[in-house]
Structure 1
């Protein structure tokens, strides 16, 4: 998979106005409104600091949550937090592309950093549309004339097709930021040069994502083992003819995943030797963990994979040369049912193989449990990472590639 993108090294940015799209979407306490985790802001600090150091006037475009959610709020607090992280004043303007935003941009000096308002406050950002019309939006038409370059550093949102992620690449010289560049180099590099044996550990509650990845890597032959955990495992248990109980069956149905039981059945038929399902599970009875064979699952919620399954999975992980993992093994937020997730992460961390963890809950668990330093790469983008592994093109990345080839052709 070729990676031909402009980066910050391709443009002279001194005294230029640079519009950068980042993903600083952060957990916010619904009661106090206080930001609970600044991890994503710290990640983007590298690119933003570099732009400022190079003398650019840096204009930041970002979102927080989406309409209808309790944490859908302004970016005023984000500006305060980012100022502390960067040790540099981050100006905040309560506007996206109106007169206030454009006038503030016009008065910026070298090294200044400006954060515009939550881009999802504007309806065009959340409407579904094809890629090319994104450049015809008011957001792009108003901001493009007052900036010189566009930088996309929002890998975590790269699977979205939205004006702030795609539209500017049609009208401005565009480049990938350092986070975008790093993620794509590591992920595409690992996918292009898979060392065998290669193991995928797929779990969590977003079973459709994991099963799409599974289909892709089994069909193209890159996966030697698929270890199923979480809701993914429950779907495969049911597809294998194992009775998982009405409670767990209803949970699959309520999530809208009934169709994936048939998909799982087909995958088991085709790739039986490569797909492993749990031999035991941990159920919740009276708020306590009980490990039980999959042949004897009562009508009780499955909250984790069982101890024997953990041992089996750990053996495979430790002998793997490449390990991709996405989604926790169970309800890891509850200490009683964090064993599966913790032991799998420990196996990945202690293996000699090259390891990548998708973003989202498993990444949070890895950091929370102290495995961050032992894992080769923890992706900043759950949805983007999993889509890339599933062989899907990321709209924002494709837009940057097109901008690269446009520049190349313009120079001929």
Structure 2
């Protein structure tokens, strides 16, 4: 895949103004407004530092949350955090394309770095459109005359077709940054060179995404076994004819996933034993965790997979040569129900096989356990990674490919 788009190696950026789209969207303490985790800022530091060292005038474009959310804020604090990480001053301007922002860009000297304001302060940013349509937005039209190259390093947002991600690729020479390049290379190589047995561990709350992955990797023969947890596991249990209780059926329906039950039923009929579902689950009774066999589930919310399922799944993981994981096994934020997620992550960390953690909450749980270095690859992008695993094109990557053409 890497040959289909340009990278930083393909252009001489010395004394050139380079606009770099990064994804430093970070969790923020709702009380203090302080950034709680700087992982994404550290990830992008390689691309930023390399461009600065090569003499580029580096302009950073990023987003933080979205309108209406408590963590929707300016990027002033992000500039300070980046300065500390890079050990270089990162200038900040509290606008995107005002005369003040344009003057700040024009006055940049080689090696200097400037962070523009939160791209989602621009109302058109969150609209999904074609690259040509996005190239005509005010954001792209106003900034394009001031830049020589566009670098997209925001793999975590690569599945989105927003203006800041694809609009500049139409008329500006565009390349992938180091985070984007590494993610695409590692994930695609893993999919192209799978060794068997190959296990997919699919959980979390985004059932439609996970079941899309399940369908894709079973159809193309990538997966030998699918281990389902979280709401995905509950949907498959329902599809298999197991009574999961009205409260859990109602929750699945409230999320708009009833059609996923029928889709899972079809997949079970076609692929049978390759799709594994929990044999016991954990509920909360009298404020305590209680593990219950799946034939005896009461009308209580399911918060985790049970101990027997953990042991069953961990054995499959230990025997696999390739393991892909997306989504936690349960409500891992609650210590009573963190066991499934943590034990399966530990099983992956102790595996001799290739292990890929697909971003999002399971990546956060892996980092929380201090096991990120024990995985073959921990992706920075949950949505983008799962889209790749589901066989979908990533809008920002397609835009980079078209730019090269």
TM bin (shorter chain): over 0.9
Q: Find the aligned partners of 1:229 and 1:194 in 2 and give their Cα distance.
A: 23
Residues 1:58 and 2:58 are matched in the alignment:
yes
Partner of 1:409: none
TM, length-normalised to structure 2: 0.99
Q: Find the aligned partners of 1:105 and 1:2 in 2 and give their Cα distance.
A: 30
User: Structure 1 residues 286-295 or 384-393, which shifts more?
Assistant: 286-295
SS of 1:58 mapped into structure 2: strand
Partner of 1:389: 389
Q: Find the aligned partners of 1:333 and 1:125 in 2 and give their Cα distance.
A: 32
SS of 1:88 mapped into structure 2: coil
Note if contact 2:149-2:173 (Cα within 8 Å) is conserved in structure 1: yes
SS of 2:299 mapped into structure 1: coil
Q: Find the aligned partners of 2:330 and 2:276 in 1 and give their Cα distance.
A: 16
Structure 1: tracts of 5 or more residues without a match? 406-412
SS of 2:71 mapped into structure 1: coil
User: Structure 1 residues 149-158 or 95-104, which shifts more?
Assistant: 95-104
TM, length-normalised to structure 1: 0.97
Partner of 1:337: 337
Q: CA deviation at 1:2?
A: 6.5
Partner of 1:328: 328
User: Residues 2 and 270 of structure 1: is their aligned pair in 2 closer, same or farther, counting only changes over 3 Å?
Assistant: farther
Partner of 1:178: 178
Q: Find the aligned partners of 2:328 and 2:287 in 1 and give their Cα distance.
A: 19
SS of 2:273 mapped into structure 1: coil
Partner of 2:247: 247
Q: CA deviation at 1:178?
A: 0.3
Note if contact 2:2-2:185 (Cα within 8 Å) is conserved in structure 1: no
User: Residues 319 and 327 of structure 1: is their aligned pair in 2 closer, same or farther, counting only changes over 3 Å?
Assistant: same
Q: CA deviation at 1:130?
A: 2.6
Residues 1:138 and 2:138 are matched in the alignment:
yes
Q: CA deviation at 1:285?
A: 1.1
Report runs of 4+ in structure 1 exceeding 4 Å deviation: none
Q: Find the aligned partners of 1:282 and 1:54 in 2 and give their Cα distance.
A: 54
1:190-242, Cα deviation, whole Å (9 max, x unpaired): 11111111100000111111001001111111110000001100001111111
SS of 2:364 mapped into structure 1: helix
Residues 1:215 and 2:215 are matched in the alignment:
yes
Say what the alpha-carbon RMSD is for the aligned residues.
Answer: 0.9
Residues 1:92 and 2:83 are matched in the alignment:
no
Partner of 2:281: 281
Note if contact 2:304-2:330 (Cα within 8 Å) is conserved in structure 1: yes
1:144-163, Cα deviation, whole Å (9 max, x unpaired): 11111100000000000011
Q: Find the aligned partners of 1:325 and 1:161 in 2 and give their Cα distance.
A: 25
Q: Find the aligned partners of 1:168 and 1:397 in 2 and give their Cα distance.
A: 13
Which aligned pairs between 1:354-365 and structure 2 lie closer than 5 A?
A: 354-365=354-365
SS of 1:272 mapped into structure 2: helix
Partner of 1:118: 118
Which aligned pairs between 1:236-275 and structure 2 lie closer than 5 A?
A: 236-275=236-275
SS of 1:268 mapped into structure 2: helix
Residues 1:43 and 2:43 are matched in the alignment:
yes
Partner of 1:17: 17
Q: CA deviation at 1:3?
A: 4.5
Structure 2: tracts of 5 or more residues without a match? none
Q: Find the aligned partners of 1:342 and 1:146 in 2 and give their Cα distance.
A: 48
Q: CA deviation at 1:137?
A: 1.1
1:13-56, Cα deviation, whole Å (9 max, x unpaired): 11111000000000111121111111100100010011111111
SS of 1:205 mapped into structure 2: coil
Note if contact 2:131-2:170 (Cα within 8 Å) is conserved in structure 1: no
Q: Find the aligned partners of 2:51 and 2:289 in 1 and give their Cα distance.
A: 51
Q: CA deviation at 1:287?
A: 2.0
Note if contact 1:3-1:184 (Cα within 8 Å) is conserved in structure 2: no
Note if contact 1:3-1:185 (Cα within 8 Å) is conserved in structure 2: no
Partner of 2:308: 308
Partner of 1:82: 82
